Amino acid sequence: MLDSVSAGEIEAAGIGKNFGRFTALKDISLTVGRGEFLTLLGPSGSGKTTFLMILAGFEAPTTGRLSLNGVDMTETDAETRGFGMVFQGYALFPHMTVEQNIAFPLRVQKRSAQQIKARVAEMVEMVGLGGHGHKKPSALSGGQQQRVALARALAYEPPVLLLDEPFSALDRNLRGQMQDEMRRIHKDTGTTFVFVTHDQEEALALSSRIAIFDHGQLQQLDTPREIYDRPSNRFVAEFLGDINILPVNPKLTDETGAVAEFEGRAIRAVADQGGGSSVAVRPERMILSAEEMPQANSIPAKITDIVYLGAETRLGLKTAGGNDLTMSLPTHEVPATAAVGAPFWVNWAPEHGVFL
Amino acid sequence: MSKPMKSALVLLGPLLAFLMLAYVFPFLGILRWSFTLPELGLGNYADALTDPLVLSVFGRTLRVCVIVTLVSVASAYVITLLWVRGGPVQRLVMELCILIPFWISVLTRAFGWLALLSNRGLINTWLQGIGLTSDPLTMVRNEFGVVVGMAHFLIPFAVFPLASAVRNLDERVLLAARGMGAGRQRVFWTVFLPMTAPGILGAALIVFVFALGFFVTPAILGGGRSVMVAELVYLRIFQSPNWGLGAAISVILMIGVAFLMGALMKAVRPGEKS
């Protein structure tokens, strides 16, 4: 096993990047902790990959500073930073065998032939490619090539491993497998991982924290659970999973907390993000009832659609004021009376709604 | 026969017919001459493979072509890198430099080199003018002149296969190498060059095969002293009429080229062994 002492801590302060007149990144400040698994998540063109390239040293930031373990590295070139990198499409050396690929960074570091041999064997074993060492990358499957790329990037114990959408070319099953493997490798090596993806499930499953990017700006940086339960703005709320956004009129604060009005009813929700023009509620947080539940937020609505999805069922509803709601509940909890056109009450606890 | 095969044959028909008429039939005629003139037998081949003059011409041709190939491919590699990986202005300039020679005939270019390289040419006049040399350097009517003229003609033909090899290179592979701490020199020698090796082999093949059949440039810049195979064939057929021997030399050249093509094609596509 590798020692985690070598894991690096990265600090970015006010990083901005312009390509001509186009602003790709604007004022990104964040810290990636030692041994952390940070995911940069966002739609394409959000600047997440540009930020990763700046971390790697392949792009220079227009503004801002970067440091590694407290030492400024803004002007340090990629070769000297020596962060491990796994690219989309793997970027293996096609003219070298698996073993030669993995040995490449070790040769660069001029380690002894004996050390290289031992280390390569160890890495081949770690990523489960025993017996494939003498093959060229073109003779391997996508998943295997991915493993080689990981082994190569980790072989020389870089302080930070950067991953640019490494699973995007894999099919769904393989993806799940590689994610498990990635989690294991992260745990085993203790290296700091910075991972770029546009797949939200992947981000939620793997990360210790997620940084959400949009239009070159950092929208939110928090643990997967916090980001999911307490999105800080409408973009984050809608980008990650399904959510109901109810337009409310201005939020007031009374003795029991924040309250606003939706279709003539008082709605209570968490107000720590400062917004007040809408309330966001996850579909799975809503409860269906035949009667109003006075202790919760309670809204009358009619069922417009029932979608059976196996373990869960998704219901589409319309409120009296014409707003659409979506809720999902375990299929065995769907009342027998549920049918298109049937009137119900939709309820949720105040702590499960967020003012945006 | 499948339908697309049929329509492909229809479309290819005129070209195939032309190739038959213009190349295959005449070549069969040459083949016949080589065995029948002046009398039936293998006499011409025996002559061609024992005559010291013919052998020395074959030797010179091989030597000149190898040198020309090395010079052309090496220069073309540098030109390609400047062209494909440069900024927009540099790319335009390089493009013009590669294309302009294409618009000038071989003959004009050979005479152009003659004007530059001959004993009283521009280069010698200049060298003597600034006092670097007292006697003119002999740069034409020898192999040096032939190599210069041929390489100049062949470089663009090497640039195109190299350019496609360099363009198809996955930029991320280079980034990956740099990211792992490899400096520019190392990236070039251990990653860039091996990855473009198929392009280099392809370029070398084109240049070498092309060079083997060169006639005008060696005739002018060699000035009758550095005779190469194509010129020898011409001499045997038009000046010292010995059609049988000329034909036999042509056939030997042809077989050599075919053999080389086969060998190099195999090298460029090393199959699926891993």
Q: What angle do CA B196, B202, B206 make, to 5 degrees?
A: 145
B176–A136: do the CB atoms touch at under 8 Å? no
Query: What is the least distance, in Å, from the CA of B71 to any CA of chain A?
Result: 25
Give the pLDDT score at A115: 94
Give the pLDDT score at A99: 95
Give the pLDDT score at B272: 38
- Rounded alpha-carbon distances, angstroms, from residue A202 to A44, A88, A163, A210, A228: 16, 15, 13, 11, 14
Please name the amino acid found at residue B35.
F
Q: What is the pLDDT along chain A (356 residues), one digit of tens a residue?
A: 344 457 899 999 999 999 989 999 999 999 999 999 999 999 988 999 999 999 999 999 999 999 999 999 999 999 899 898 999 888 999 999 999 999 999 999 999 999 999 999 999 988 888 899 999 999 999 889 989 999 999 898 899 999 998 888 788 888 888 888 889 889 988 899 999 998 888 899 899 999 999 999 999 999 999 999 999 899 999 998 899 999 988 777 777 778 888 988 888 888 877 677 889 999 999 999 998 888 889 999 999 999 999 999 999 999 988 999 999 999 998 888 889 999 999 999 998 999 88
- Rounded alpha-carbon distances, angstroms, from residue A69 to A7, A34, A78: 9, 9, 16
Q: For residue A338, which of A290, A292, A291, A276 has the smallest C-alpha distance?
A: A290
Averaged pLDDT for residues B206-229 = 86
Task: Note which residues in 165-194 of chain B have CB less than 8 A from chain A.
Answer: 170, 172-173, 175-183, 186, 190-191, 194
Domain boundaries, chain A: 4-237, 243-355
Express each pLDDT in A133-151 by its tens digit: 999 999 999 889 989 999 9
Q: For residue A48, which of A155, A185, A202, A182 has the smallest C-alpha distance?
A: A202
Are the beta carbons of B245 and B50 closer than 8 angstroms? Answer: no
DSSP for A226-246 reads HHHHS-SSHHHHHHSS--EEE
Closest-CA residue of B relative to A152 is: B180
Give the pLDDT score at A19: 92
List for chain B the helix, strand, coil content (%; round to 5): 80, 0, 20
Give the pLDDT score at A2: 42
Q: Measured between alpha carbons, how far is A143 from A122 in angstroms, rounded to an integer?
A: 19
Give the pLDDT score at A1: 38
- pLDDT-based confidence at B97, cuts 50/70/90? confident
Beta-carbon count within 10 A of B157 CB: 16
- Residue A277, classed as helix, strand or coil, is coil
Are the beta carbons of B170 and A95 closer than 8 angstroms? Answer: no
Are the beta carbons of B199 and B205 closer than 8 angstroms? Answer: no
Q: Measured between alpha carbons, how far is A112 from A103 in angstroms, rounded to an integer?
A: 11
Nearest CB among A56, A79, A88 relative to B183 is that of A79
Task: Note which residues in 121-160 of chain A have CB less than 8 A from chain B.
Answer: 134-136, 138-139, 152-153, 156
Bridge partner list, A257: A254
User: What does the block give as tokens for B233?
Assistant: 């064939």
Give the pLDDT score at A48: 94
Alpha-carbon A144 to chain mean position: 24
Check pLDDT > 80 for residue B273.
no
B179–A89: do the CB atoms touch at under 8 Å? no
Q: Measured between alpha carbons, how far is A155 from A92 in angstroms, rounded to an integer?
A: 14
Q: Measured between alpha carbons, how far is A316 from B174 in angstroms, rounded to an integer?
A: 51
Using a CB-CB distance cutoff of 8 angstroms, which residues of chain B are in contact with residue A98?
Answer: none
Q: Measured between alpha carbons, how far is A261 from A321 in angstroms, rounded to an integer?
A: 12
Closest-CA residue of A relative to B197 is: A95
- pLDDT-based confidence at B132, cuts 50/70/90? confident
**A18 and chain B: CB distance < 8 Å anywhere?**
no
Express each pLDDT in A72-108 by its tens digit: 999 999 989 989 899 988 899 999 999 999 999 999 9
Query: What is the least distance, in Å, from the CA of A77 to any CA of chain B?
Result: 9
Q: Measured between alpha carbons, how far is A278 from A260 in angstroms, rounded to an integer?
A: 9
Give the pLDDT score at A12: 95
Q: Measured between alpha carbons, how far is B97 from A103 in angstroms, rounded to an integer?
A: 41
Fold for domain A4-237? Rossmann fold (3.40.50)
- pLDDT-based confidence at B269, cuts 50/70/90? low
Give the pLDDT score at B270: 55
- Find the helix or strand (DSSP H, E) in which B94 lies: helix B88-99
Give the pLDDT score at B185: 92
Averaged pLDDT for residues B119-147 = 87
What average pLDDT does the structure give for chain B?
Answer: 88
Write out the CATH class of domain B29-268. Answer: mainly alpha
Beta-carbon count within 10 A of A41 CB: 29
Check pLDDT > 60 for residue B274.
no
Give the pLDDT score at A101: 95
User: In this predicted structure, which of A153-167, A209-223, B203-217, B253-267 has the lowest mean pLDDT?
Assistant: B253-267
Q: Measured between alpha carbons, how far is B122 from B126 in angstroms, rounded to an integer?
A: 6
Phi, psi of A344 (to 5 degrees): -140, 175
Tell me the CB-side half-sphere exposure of residue A230, using CA atoms within 13 A.
12
**A169 and chain B: CB distance < 8 Å anywhere?**
no
A95–B178: do the CB atoms touch at under 8 Å? no
Closest-CA residue of B relative to A109 is: B181
Q: Where does A243-355 sit in CATH, by number?
A: 2.40.50.100
Beta-carbon count within 10 A of B32 CB: 12
